[in-house]
Amino acid sequence: MEEKINGKGGASSQVLTFKLADEVYGVDIMSVREVLDFSSVTKVPHTPDFMVGVINLRGNVVPVVDLKKKFRLGDTVRTVNTCIIIVEVEVDGDSTVLGALADSVQEVVEFEHETIEDAPKIGTQLNTAFIAGMAKRETGFVIILNVNAVFSMNEIGSYTVAATETAVES
């Protein structure tokens, strides 16, 4: 995915855009399975604070993460526009499905590769590995996320195991 976003893989990329706080983010449409209304979520004990809980998606336990909290932008406040973006990430060569809580979904946008720049290099203290690129628009930038880098293997492994164990006990 990263090669495709940063201009090495083709003429353009389709990105699902969404809002977190006042910023517009995006993910490659190929990693998005679906977008759901925010409904009830089952809390799971002993999980990171950015994990909202789990949902039942057609019989499968899917962890839901509050991206605002993960990115230290505050808590997501539930509104009529709040939604869960179901994405597929790769962990140790295996596919894992998880939900990402967003303030609202905007649209699918096609960006020409010349409008996408690499993530900014902001010293050595800030890790920008989770940013696949910065797409330029007339109204500013879209921060395109690398969904495989947003979550470390340890994070996904720990809360997926905890979520599954909780669901089995229920």
Query: Under 8 Å CB-to-CB from 125, ≥6 apart: which residues?
Result: none
pLDDT digits (tens, 9 = 90+) for 114-158: 888 887 776 545 567 788 899 988 888 999 999 888 865 455 554
Long-range contacts of 63-66 (CB under 8 A, 24+ apart): 63/98, 63/99, 63/156, 63/159, 63/160, 63/163, 64/98, 64/99, 64/100, 64/101, 65/98, 65/99, 65/100, 65/101, 65/151, 66/101
Chain center to CA of 142: 14
User: If residue 105 lies in a helix (H) or strand (E), which one and from where to where?
Assistant: strand 104-112
Q: How many helices (H) and strands (E) does the chain have?
A: 4, 11
Position of tokens 């998606």? 57
Q: Write down all domains in the chain, each with its CATH number in brackets.
A: 2-169 (2.40.50.180)
Q: Above 90 in pLDDT, residue 168?
A: no
The Cβ of residue 4 has, within 10 Å, a number of other Cβ atoms equal to: 18
Q: What is the pLDDT of residue 8?
A: 46
Q: What is the pTM of this model?
A: 0.80
Q: What is the pLDDT of residue 17?
A: 96
Average pLDDT, the chain: 81
Name the DSSP class of 10: -
How far is 96 from 40, CA to CA, in rounded Å? 21
Percent of the chain past pLDDT 90, that is, above it, reads: 45
Alpha-helical runs (H) found in 6-80 = 67-70
Determine the Cα angle at 162 with ends 161 and 168, to 5°: 90
Q: Above 50 in pLDDT, residue 3?
A: no
Q: Which of 54-58, 98-102, 105-109, 157-161 has the lowest mean pLDDT?
A: 157-161
